[in-house]
Chains A and B, each alone.
Chain A
Amino acid sequence: MTDTTAAAPHHSWFHRNRKTITPWLFLLPGILFFSVYVIYPIIQSINLSFYKWDGLGEAEYVGTANYERLASDRAFTVSLFNNMKWLLLYLLAIPAGLFIALFLNQTVRGIRIYKSLFFFPFVISQVVVGLVFTWFYDPNFGLLNGILGAVGLGPINVLGDPALATYGIIAAGLWPQTAYCMILYLTGLNAVDPEQIEAARLDGAKGWRMLWHIIIPQLKPATFIAFVVTIIGALRSFDLISIMTNGGPFGSTRVLSFYMFEKALSEYGFRMGYGAAIAVVLFFIMLFFIAYFLWSMYQDEKGR
Chain B
Amino acid sequence: MRSMKKLMLAGLAATTMLSSSAFAEGLSGELRVFSDMSNPAPRAVMEGMVERFGAMHPDLDIELTVIDREAYKTQIRNFLTADAPDVANWYAANRMGPYVNAGLFEDISDLWAEPEFAALASTKGAMTIDDKQWGVPYTYYQWGVYYRQDIFEELGLTAPATFEEELANCEKIVASGRACYTIGSKFLWTAGGWFDYLNMRTNGYDFHMQLARGEIEWTDDRVRETFANWRKLIDMGGFIEDHQTYSWQEALPFMINGDATAYLMGNFAVPHFRDGGLTDDQLGFYQFPVINPDVPMAEDAPTDTFHIPANAQNKEAAREFLRFIVSADNQTLINAGDALGQLPVNAESSVDDDKFLEAGFNMLSNDAPGGVAQFFDRDFSAEMAKAGMEGLQEFMVYPDNLDDILERLEFVRQDTAE
Residues of A within 8 A of B393 (CB): 248-250
Q: Does A262 make an interface contact (CB < 8 A)?
A: yes
Residues of B within 8 A of A246 (CB): 186-187
Among B77, B245, B390, B415, which residue has its beta carbon within 8 angstroms of that of A250? B390
Q: Mark B89-104 against chain A: 1 for CB-CB distance below 8 A, else 0.
A: 0000000001101101
* Chain A, range 111-153, C-beta contacts under 8 Å to B: 138-140
**In the complex, how many angstroms separate the beta carbon of B72 from the nearest chain A beta carbon?**
10
Q: Are the CB atoms of A250 and B186 closer together than 8 Å? A: no
Residues of A within 8 A of B81 (CB): 56
Q: Are the CB atoms of A269 and B242 closer together than 8 Å? A: no
Q: Are the CB atoms of B99 and A139 closer together than 8 Å? A: no
Q: Does B408 make an interface contact (CB < 8 A)?
A: yes
Q: Are the CB atoms of A157 and B382 closer together than 8 Å? A: no
In the assembled complex, the Cα of A208 lies from the Cα of B386 at a distance in Å of 53
Q: Does A213 make an interface contact (CB < 8 A)?
A: no
Residues of A within 8 A of B102 (CB): 54, 56-57
Q: Are the CB atoms of B73 and A249 closer together than 8 Å? A: no
Q: Are the CB atoms of A54 and B98 closer together than 8 Å? A: yes
Minimum CB distance partner of A56 in chain B? B102
| Given A56-B99, A56-B104, also A249-B74 (CB < 8 A) | no
Q: Are the CB atoms of B77 and A139 closer together than 8 Å? A: no
Q: Mark B187-219 against chain A: 1 for CB-CB distance below 8 A, else 0.
A: 110000000000000000000000000000000
Q: Are the CB atoms of A265 and B98 closer together than 8 Å? A: no
* Chain B, range 229-272, C-beta contacts under 8 Å to A: 241-242, 244-245
Minimum CB distance partner of B104 in chain A? A56
* Chain B, range 383-404, C-beta contacts under 8 Å to A: 383, 385-386, 390-391, 393-394, 397
**Interface of chain A, main secondary structure:** loop
Among B98, B104, B385, which residue has its beta carbon within 8 angstroms of that of A270? B98
Give the A interface residue count (CB, 8 A): 26
In the assembled complex, the Cα of A159 lies from the Cα of B247 at a distance in Å of 13
**In the complex, how many angstroms separate the beta carbon of B143 from the nearest chain A beta carbon?**
20
Minimum CB distance partner of A137 in chain B? B245
| Given A56-B99, A139-B242, also A249-B383 (CB < 8 A) | no
Among B188, B242, B408, which residue has its beta carbon within 8 angstroms of that of A160? B242
Among A57, A245, A250, which residue has its beta carbon within 8 angstroms of that of B391? A250
In the assembled complex, the Cα of A246 lies from the Cα of B391 at a distance in Å of 15
**In the complex, how many angstroms separate the beta carbon of B189 from the nearest chain A beta carbon?**
10
In the assembled complex, the Cα of A249 lies from the Cα of B246 at a distance in Å of 11
Q: Does A288 make an interface contact (CB < 8 A)?
A: no
Q: Are the CB atoms of B244 and A268 closer together than 8 Å? A: no
Q: Are the CB atoms of A270 and B188 closer together than 8 Å? A: no
Q: Are the CB atoms of B390 and A56 closer together than 8 Å? A: no
Among B73, B104, B242, which residue has its beta carbon within 8 angstroms of that of A267? B73
In the assembled complex, the Cα of A245 lies from the Cα of B382 at a distance in Å of 20
**In the complex, how many angstroms separate the beta carbon of A99 from the nearest chain B beta carbon?**
33
Q: Does B377 make an interface contact (CB < 8 A)?
A: yes
In the assembled complex, the Cα of A171 lies from the Cα of B97 at a distance in Å of 42
Q: Does A209 make an interface contact (CB < 8 A)?
A: no
Q: Are the CB atoms of B241 and A139 closer together than 8 Å? A: yes
* Chain B, range 363-418, C-beta contacts under 8 Å to A: 377, 382-383, 385-386, 390-391, 393-394, 397, 408, 415
Minimum CB distance partner of A134 in chain B? B245
Q: Does A55 make an interface contact (CB < 8 A)?
A: yes
| Given A56-B102, A250-B394, A251-B390, also A157-B245 (CB < 8 A) | yes
**In the complex, how many angstroms separate the beta carbon of B53 from the nearest chain A beta carbon?**
30
Q: Are the CB atoms of B377 and A249 closer together than 8 Å? A: no
Minimum CB distance partner of B81 in chain A? A56
| Given A139-B241, A160-B244, also A265-B74 (CB < 8 A) | yes
Residues of A within 8 A of B245 (CB): 138-139, 157, 159-160, 249
Q: Are the CB atoms of A268 and B74 closer together than 8 Å? A: no
Minimum CB distance partner of A267 in chain B? B73
Residues of A within 8 A of B244 (CB): 157, 160, 248-250
In the assembled complex, the Cα of A74 lies from the Cα of B186 at a distance in Å of 20
Q: Are the CB atoms of A248 and B386 closer together than 8 Å? A: no
Residues of B within 8 A of A267 (CB): 70, 73-74, 382
**In the complex, how many angstroms separate the beta carbon of B253 from the nearest chain A beta carbon?**
9
Minimum CB distance partner of A250 in chain B? B394
| Given A54-B98, A56-B104, A57-B101, also A268-B385 (CB < 8 A) | yes
Residues of A within 8 A of B104 (CB): 56
Query: Of residues A57, A266, A268, which shows the largest number of chain B Cβ atoms within 10 Å of its Cβ?
Result: A268
Q: Are the CB atoms of B383 and A268 closer together than 8 Å? A: yes
Q: Are the CB atoms of A56 and B98 closer together than 8 Å? A: yes
**In the complex, how many angstroms separate the beta carbon of B119 from the nearest chain A beta carbon?**
32
Residues of B within 8 A of A74 (CB): 408
Q: Does A69 make an interface contact (CB < 8 A)?
A: yes
Among A159, A249, A271, which residue has its beta carbon within 8 angstroms of that of B394? A249
* Chain B, range 158-206, C-beta contacts under 8 Å to A: 186-188
Residues of A within 8 A of B415 (CB): 69
* Chain A, range 205-264, C-beta contacts under 8 Å to B: 245-246, 248-251, 262
Minimum CB distance partner of A138 in chain B? B245
**In the complex, how many angstroms separate the beta carbon of A63 from the nearest chain B beta carbon?**
14
In the assembled complex, the Cα of A74 lies from the Cα of B387 at a distance in Å of 12
In the assembled complex, the Cα of A55 lies from the Cα of B393 at a distance in Å of 29
Q: Are the CB atoms of B99 and A268 closer together than 8 Å? A: no
Residues of A within 8 A of B382 (CB): 267-270
Q: Mark B44-80 against chain A: 1 for CB-CB distance below 8 A, else 0.
A: 0000000000000000000000000010011001000
User: What 5 A-B pairs have minimum CB-CB distances, sorted nearest first?
Assistant: A268-B386, A250-B394, A56-B102, A160-B245, A249-B244
14 A–B pairs (Cβ distance < 8 Å), ordered by A: A56-B98, A56-B102, A56-B104, A74-B408, A139-B242, A160-B242, A160-B397, A248-B186, A248-B188, A250-B244, A267-B70, A267-B74, A268-B377, A270-B98
Given contacts A249-B397, A268-B377, A268-B382, 17 further A-B contacts (CB under 8 A): A56-B104, A57-B101, A69-B415, A74-B408, A138-B245, A157-B241, A157-B242, A245-B186, A248-B244, A248-B390, A249-B245, A249-B394, A250-B393, A266-B74, A267-B73, A267-B74, A267-B382
A residues at B contact (CB < 8 Å): 54-57, 69, 74, 138-140, 157, 159-160, 245-246, 248-251, 262, 265-271
